[in-house]
């Protein structure tokens, strides 16, 4: 069941890639060596392990996979690779030989390869210098024109296919089920450590997928840190805490932050929470196809100003980021600085306004949205009040 869904997502990406590639070249070569390349996950629905490669061509996809990892692509065999070839190898030398053999078949063609400067296109680059030299050498032998894949990968992955968006909707639902079930269990209470809470979440997440990123559980004064590292701190009565977590399900990532309080919160906490809720609603009301990436962030900042909180001082990050196969996916951030780019259709974003008061506390609320030509879809909505434990 899940596998079929995954295959449908992969097929939708392959089709999109094949249509788009004509604008940039003929084939797309992805090689993952060492650091796992998300483009392998994107095409094959699995984490790259060691050396792996994929070459997208008109009719199919060549897959280069270590003999020991052969079982990884079991889900692709019948459907995806019907007309394609699987090339197995053991060790670097055999890998090189396989790549060379296949490249020989594409003499005279234009191949997009993922060795653009990583500062420019971090999502497209992971090739080692040695491997880059090698591929360039083969290209020279076979008169292949190598082109940087950066722009192509950017355009391909910034917008999502309907299948990817459907997976994200389900992903967010499952994510919230996990959150609700842990909160309703009533186990989060004074004496429990941040680490113990994180462990609860990890336990549930692995039953359906994997974490999109390292979970953040921040409590008490730790909530003043936007990127807190989970600690041994024990929850205390009248604490505030935030939990920032996400699930990677069917290769799509959710990212949610919720704010909880134990006992009775101070007035400042209540006022801050209200301001953050309002900022989030105001921001979301501006998000639509054709709006600039700055508009929602500016709306959130204006709301904070109206509530008497200087956003320059207390809202110290951007409003949101693209979601997709990576939790920080391809695309501009929602920031007041991105004034000259407009939001396209079929993108997914987080909306996460926050206020942080150094050494005191902080509140962040994060929801996920999908932007379509027909309007915005808010996949989930943070509660109007903190969640009382
Ligand atoms: Mn986020």
106 and 69 assigned to the same domain: yes
In terms of domains, do 320 and 242 share one?
yes
User: Residues 273, 380: contact at Cβ < 8 Å?
Assistant: no
| Euclidean distance between CA atoms 301 and 296, whole angstroms | 9
Please check whether residues 216 and 344 belong to one and the same domain: yes
Q: Are residues 171 and 289 in the same domain?
A: yes
Q: Give 353 Cα–ligand 1 centroid separation in angstroms.
A: 10
**174 plus 131 within the same structural domain:** no
Domain boundary residue among 132, 157, 182? 157
Q: In this predicted structure, which of 138-142, 149-153, 158-162, 306-310 has the lowest mean pLDDT?
A: 149-153
Ligand 1 is an ion; residues with CB less than 5 A from it = 255, 350
* 368 C-alpha to ligand 1 centroid (Å): 9
145 C-alpha to center of ligand 1: Å? 39
Q: What's the CA-to-centroid distance between 58 and ligand 1, angstroms?
A: 36
Predicted TM-score of the model (pTM): 0.95
Choose one of 141, 157, 173: the last residue of a domain. Answer: 157
Residue 148 has pLDDT above 80, yes or no: yes
Q: Is 81 helix (H, G, I), strand (E, B) or coil?
A: coil
CATH of the domain at 133: 3.40.350.10
Going from the Cα of 357 to the center of ligand 1, the distance in angstroms, rounded, reads 19
> Residue 314 in contact with residue 258, Cβ under 8 Å?
no
Percentage of residues in the chain having pLDDT higher than 90: 86
Looking at residue 129, its pLDDT comes to 84
Question: Looking at the 3D structure of the chain, how many domains does it have?
Answer: 2
Q: Are residues 252 and 372 in the same domain?
A: yes
Burial profile 163-193: b = 16 or more Cβ within 10 angstroms, e = fewer: bbbbbbbbbbebbbebbeebeeeeebeeebb
- pLDDT recorded at residue 297: 98
Residues 292 and 194 in one domain: yes
Does one domain contain both 201 and 347? yes
* Per-residue confidence (pLDDT) for residue 83, from 0 to 100: 62
pLDDT for residue 2? 61
**Same domain, yes or no, for 190 and 71?**
no
pLDDT score of 1 more than 70: no
The predicted pLDDT at position 122 comes to: 77
Q: Which helix (H) or strand (E) holds 298?
A: helix 295-306
CA of 200 to the centre of ligand 1 (A): 20
Q: Is the pLDDT of residue 115 over 80?
A: no
Residues of the chain with pLDDT > 70, as a percent, come to 97
| 330 C-alpha to ligand 1 centroid (Å) | 13
pLDDT tens digits, residue range 11-55?
999 999 999 999 999 999 999 987 778 999 999 999 988 899 999
Q: What pLDDT digit, counting tens, does each position of 53-87 carry?
A: 999 998 889 999 999 998 888 888 767 776 678 99
Mean pLDDT of 378-387: 97
| Rounded distance from Cα 268 to ligand 1 centre (Å) | 24
pLDDT at 3 over 70: no
- Asked whether residue 152 falls in the same domain as residue 69, the answer is yes
Looking at the fold, whether 121 and 205 belong to one and the same domain comes out as no
Mark whether 264 and 128 lie in a shared domain: no
pLDDT in tens, 260-280: 999 999 999 999 999 999 999
**CATH number of residue 215's parent domain:** 3.90.230.10
Distance between Cα 256 and ligand 1 center (Å): 7
Output the pLDDT for position 124: 80
Question: What is the 32 CA–ligand 1 centroid distance (Å)?
Answer: 26
130: containing domain: 2-157
Q: How far is the CA of 350 from the centre of ligand 1 (A)?
A: 6
Q: Of 157, 184, 210, which residue is a domain's last?
A: 157
């Amino acid at each position: 069941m899940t596998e079929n869904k995954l295959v449908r997502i992969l097929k939708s990406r392959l089709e999109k890639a094949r249509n788009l590639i004509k604008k940039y070249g003929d084939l797309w070569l992805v090689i993952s060596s060492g650091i796992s390349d998300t483009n392998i996950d994107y095409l094959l629905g699995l984490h790259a392990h060691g050396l792996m490669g994929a070459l997208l061509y008109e009719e199919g996809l060549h897959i280069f996979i270590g003999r020991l990892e052969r079982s990884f692509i079991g889900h692709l065999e019948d459907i995806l690779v019907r007309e394609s070839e699987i090339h197995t190898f053991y060790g670097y030398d055999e890998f090189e030989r396989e790549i060379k053999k296949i490249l020989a078949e594409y003499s005279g063609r234009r191949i997009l390869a993922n060795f653009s400067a990583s500062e420019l296109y971090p999502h497209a680059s992971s090739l080692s210098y040695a491997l880059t030299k090698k591929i360039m050498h083969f290209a020279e032998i076979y008169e292949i024109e190598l082109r940087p894949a950066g722009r192509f990968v950017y355009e391909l992955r910034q917008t999502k296919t309907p299948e990817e968006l459907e997976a994200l909707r389900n992903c967010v639902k499952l994510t919230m089920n996990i959150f609700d079930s842990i909160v309703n269990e009533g186990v989060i209470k004074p004496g429990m450590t941040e680490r113990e809470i994180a462990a609860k979440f990890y336990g549930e997440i692995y039953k359906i997928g994997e974490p999109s990123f390292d979970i953040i559980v921040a409590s008490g004064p730790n909530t003043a840190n936007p990127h807190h590292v989970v600690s041994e701190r024990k929850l205390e009565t009248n604490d505030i805490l935030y939990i920032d977590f996400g699930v990677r399900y069917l290769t799509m990532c959710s990212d949610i932050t919720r704010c909880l309080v134990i006992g009775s919160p101070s007035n400042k906490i209540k006022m801050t929470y209200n301001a953050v809720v309002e900022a989030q609603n105001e921001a979301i009301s501006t998000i639509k196809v054709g709006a600039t990436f700055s508009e929602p962030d500016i709306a959130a900042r204006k709301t904070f100003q109206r509530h008497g909180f200087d956003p320059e001082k207390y809202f110290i990050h951007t409003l949101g980021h693209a979601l997709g196969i990576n939790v920080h996916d391809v695309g501009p951030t929602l920031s007041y600085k991105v004034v000259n780019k407009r939001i396209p259709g079929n993108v997914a974003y987080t909306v996460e306004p926050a206020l942080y008061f150094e050494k005191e506390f902080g509140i962040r609320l994060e929801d996920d949205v999908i932007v379509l030509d027909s309007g915005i879809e808010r996949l989930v909505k943070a509660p109007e009040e903190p969640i009382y434990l």
